[in-house]
Structures are given as C-alpha cells and as structure tokens.
Structure 1
C-alpha cells in the first residue's frame, strides 16, 4: 500500500512540474508576442525594453531546469534534491515577481520611433496593459506549484530516506557523509544554473561594447563549468588536489560576484547598469549565496575523505544489512 501511495505521489509531482512548465512557457510566449509585435528592433541598443527577451528566455529555461530537477529527483529517489526542488521553485517565484515589476514599469527608450510614429507611445502603453494579466498569472501559478511541491516533498521525504538507508546501511556516520555528498552535488547544479544565468545577461546586456572584457567573460564560462564538474569527480573519487583546486576557484568566483555587486551600484557605472541592475543583482546575489554554501559544503566533504564513503558511492562495500529489523515508517535521511 505504501508503494502505491509513493508511486502516486511521484506521478503527481511529475505532473505538476510538467504542467507548470507548459503553462508558464505558454504565458511567456504570449508576453513575447505582445513585445515583438510592438517594439521595433528589440535587440538593437541597451534600453530597458531590450533586455525583456533575455529575461523571458531565462524564465523558460528555469522552468525546464526545474522539470529536469524533478525528474532526476524522483528517478533517483533523492530526498536531498526534494529540498532543492522546493528552494529552486521559490527562486523562480522571486524571479517572476521581479519580472512583473520590471516589465510593467518599463519605458521605451526608442525615442527615434516615438518621433517618427506619434502613436508609438500609445501602442507601447497598450502592450504593457495586454501583458499585465499574464504577468500576474505567472507568480500565482508558480506560488501554487511551490505549495504543492512543499506538500508532496514532505510526503516523499520519508520514503526516499528509507531507500537511502537500504542503499547505505545502518552506519549513521556513512549516512551523514552520504547526505553531505548529495547536498554538495545539489549546490553544484544550482551554481551552474545561476552562474550561466548571470553570465548570459551580463554578456548580452552589458558587455556589448567592451570587447576585451566580453571575450574574457565568454572564455570564463566554459572554464568555470569544467571546474564545477571536476568538483563532483573530486568528491566522488576523493581527489584532494582536485578538491583544493576547486575550492580555490570557488573563492575567486565569490570575490568576482562581490566585485560585480559593488560595480553595479558604483556611481560611475550608473549608466552602464541603469536598465539591468535589478536582474543582475538578483542573479549575482543568489550566485554569491550559493557559492558560499558550496564552499562550506566542500569543506565538509573534504573532511570526510578517507572515511569509507568512496566505497559506498562506487558500490564496493562488502557490508550486508538485514533491513527487516528497520521499519521504513521510522527511517528518514535525518536519522
């Protein structure tokens, strides 16, 4: 009976994620339709309205990323990533609120079009009014999905925790290290998304005329992604040199995001970031927070090297556990 309930709960979570992705993508498509049918040369220039297509694309990508997280979570029955799904959906909810205010408060900087077409300002105002219902619906839908994820996550956490117990065994120390490993992997996934999200916005909306800085930032993206992937290898195979290299790179990343946050609000950079500061601040701040959490978790994982988790992750453990003496209703990942 418990397996049936768990299967239905898993199916419900997948359906919620799929429906949320499809509906949000459709709403964002409607917003994009109104935008492109009104704004002339939407990718030409650095005005407020020019960043809207990028924000819409990132929002849809976030939905796809969430859908992938949900699928990966239920496929591997990962109770840690259940928490990640809830947290990431909360970030999407925050982003949807930012999106509402950014779009409803935008003003066209296309002064040439306004001069040549006296009706342009009226059409631009009409565009924002047409967008408003969709912009209101999006955070409502994401907020409702967040509550459902929270409810379903609580129901699945105990059963997924029991599966981890069956995989790892009765050793409480190994279970704690296994939990630390999965928290680290989850943080790496979040690092990848928020770093890419920030870099895409920064490259397209800010670095259009700064050639040297543009190419340096473009080159830094794949290098950073490789370092993040190496971190998972370092923890899984307990490679101390690779882990030290990763932590050093992560420290540099944290310094970079602090520098960027300071630059965004530097009085000499007001014009450069005038129309992108809110979204860049959101992504930079979240990226910095996740980087700090990743660094702290990396220290925990590093301290666990050589204590037996490596053999469990690679399926080399010899210990056999009799599970009948451990009722699943009482066993969670936190035990």
Structure 2
C-alpha cells in the first residue's frame, strides 16, 4: 500500500536530503540561466558583430539554455522517483536513482569542460565570467556530494526497508523472481521516459531545421514510435500480453540501429569542427544522451524478454490480489493479517484457494 508519508528515520532523511539537493540544483541552474542571458546581451553590444560569429554565439547560448532547463527537469523527475521509491518501498528504484544522479554528474562535468577546458569559439564568451566559473564548480561539487550521500542513504534504506514488498507475494521463489523482473522493467521504462524525452528535446531544439527532411521524419515517425513503444510496453506488461510484448521487444532491438546511426552522424568528420556544425556546442551532451538511450533500449529489450518468459506464472493475479487487499485495508482501516481477511476477499472476488498469493 502506498503511504503519503514515509515511516522511519532513514526514509524521512532520504526524502529530506533529496528535496534539499533538488532545490539547491534548481537555484544553481536558474542562476546559470541568468548568467547566460547577461553574457549574451553583452556580446550583442560588443565587438562580436560579425554575422557568422553572432550566429555561432546564439547557437551556443541556445544549447546551454536547453541543457540547463533539462537539468532542472531532471531534478523534478528525481524528486518524483525518490518519493515513489520510498512510498512503495521499491529498492530497485532507489538504486536506479543513484545511477540517474551519476548521469547528471557526468553531464555537469561535461558542461564545465566544454566551457572552461575546451571551449568552442562561441563558448569563449563565458570563459572570463568568474561567476559562471564559480557556479559550475559548485554544481559539480554538489553533484559529487549528493551522489555520495545518496549512496550512503540508499544503502541504509535498503537495509531498513529490504525486500519487504516481495513478502506480500508469498513464499514462492519463482514468483519473487518474476516480480523482480517486472519491477525492473517498470523502472527501466520510467528511465526511458526521461532520457528518450530528453533526446527528442535536444534533437528538436538544437539540431533539426524546418527545411530538413529529417525534421519531418523525427516528428511524424520517431516521436510517435517512441510514445507507442513505451505506452505499449506498460500496457503489455500490466496485462501479460505476450504477443504485444514480443513485438515491442523486437522494435526495441531494431531501434538500436537508429542510435548507432546517430552516433556515426554526430561524429561525422565532414562536419566535425567545420563552420555550420549543428553539434558544435551540444556534441558532448548529445553523445552522453545517445549512449544512455541506447543502453536503456538494450536493457529494456532484454528485460522484456525475461518478463515474457514469466508471463502466466501467476504474478498478474498476485499483484491484483495485493492491490485488492491494500484497498480493503485502506477502506476499512483494518490491520488484519492476510490470513484473517483472505477468505472474505476471495469470496467477494470469486477466487479459489489456489489464487491466494498475498501471505504476510
């Protein structure tokens, strides 16, 4: 049963730290956006009046604005994942949040390098900005501290919560294993939502042009394809629809070729470092996103296959029964054990004794 507030000291500390960290990062990214805007306005009034340079500066500013906005969105998504992980006692999701923070750290380090270590011509408008330097160093440092604290708290939370969510499904080891793969697929699909969405935002805002055929292929084919696959995966998993999940797994594996094509396209030597390079200031971020998306697609396809193998094992009925028991306890505010209430619940739903999976 989902709780509105977590119980125990460790879960509360975990939520509190996540909120504080997210607020700090949002403030830092908002200040970064302000510095980008001020630097852009100064360049418009300075000696950078050559049209080609002005165009490059505008592209650079747009890139950093987009990525700062995505960093803010990432923090909002992390708050949602952390809150849901604690409420549902989902230790798999707790681990994935740590990996999410690691990707955010990689992006923040990449941004620091792209501005102060190996800046492009357009990015040099930030290199003498001491405030920008301090805030980027602060962001990288905060991500390191946040990642370390989340690792410690996640380990403590795993010890505190353990795998209690699996106890509601009884003592069947095979059922527990099936549920573990079910939870992994749900979690990986949640990651797909953010990172594939982030990829689409970057493509649309930074790369695609109205007169490019790839723009229309992206809008009419790839975006609908992503939406259909992700929604279809949730639908097939919930109803254990074997054929639909098989089709989705096949589509996922086939889409790996698309991401390989994008890696080759982004690293094409014919455009690398040349005037008009569409990836001039977004290439390192874009590569991280493409690689993460490709790894997620591979993992989603592989875990989908594992879930297909477990369809028909009784997991669907076990989950439905656990939800039924949770609604019953919430409705009647009862603390009865599953043994006390199971007979009445099974009679109400027309279930037989062999359908009773939820044992405390």
From 115, 118, 122, the equivalent of 1:103 is 115
String of CA shifts for 1:89-112, please: whole Å, max 9, x gaps. Answer: 1111111111211232434549xx
Unaligned runs of 5+ in 1: 111-120, 324-335
TM-score, structure 1 as length reference? 0.84
SS at match of 1:37: helix
1:53 aligns with 2:65: yes
C-alpha distance in 2 between matches for 1:210 and 1:279: 24
| CA distance 1:233–1:109, change in 2 (3 Å) | same
Query: Which TM-score applies when normalising by structure 2?
Result: 0.79
2:8 equivalent in structure 1 = 7
Would you say the 8 A contact 2:89–2:161 is kept in 1?
yes
Q: Distance in 1 between matches of 2:55 and 2:8?
A: 50
Q: Is the 8 A contact 1:49 1:108 kept in 2?
A: no
8-17 or 207-216, which deviates more = 207-216
Out of 287, 293, 300, which is 1:287 matched to?
A: 293
Equivalent position of 1:241 in the other structure: 243
Superposition pairs of residues 69-108 of structure 1, within 5 angstroms:
69-104=81-116, 105-108=118-121
Deviation at 1:6, TM superposition (A): 5.7
Q: How does 1:282-321 map to 2 (within 5 A)?
A: 282-315=288-321, 317-319=355-357, 321=359
Q: Distance in 2 between matches of 1:274 and 1:125?
A: 16
What's the RMSD between the two structures over aligned residues? 2.4
> Per the alignment, do residues 291 and 320 of structure 1 end up closer, same or farther by CA in structure 2, a change over 3 Å counting?
closer
Report if the CA contact (8 A) 1:49-1:106 is conserved. Answer: no
CA gap of 1:125–1:87, structure 2 versus 1, over 3 A, is closer
Shift of 1:223: 3.3
Provide the C-alpha distance between the structure 2 equivalents of 1:76 and 1:60, rounded to a whole number of angstroms: 25
Tell me: higher relative CO, structure 1 or 2? Use CA pairs within 8 A at least 6 residues apart. Answer: 1
- How far off its partner does 1:320 sit? 5.3
Give per-residue Cα distances to partners, 1:120-144, cap 9 Å, x unaligned. Answer: x8x75443x2201110111211211
Change (3 A) 1:229 1:320: closer
CA contact (8 A) 1:79 1:157 kept: yes
SS in 2 for 1:168: coil
**SS in structure 1 at match of 2:157:** helix
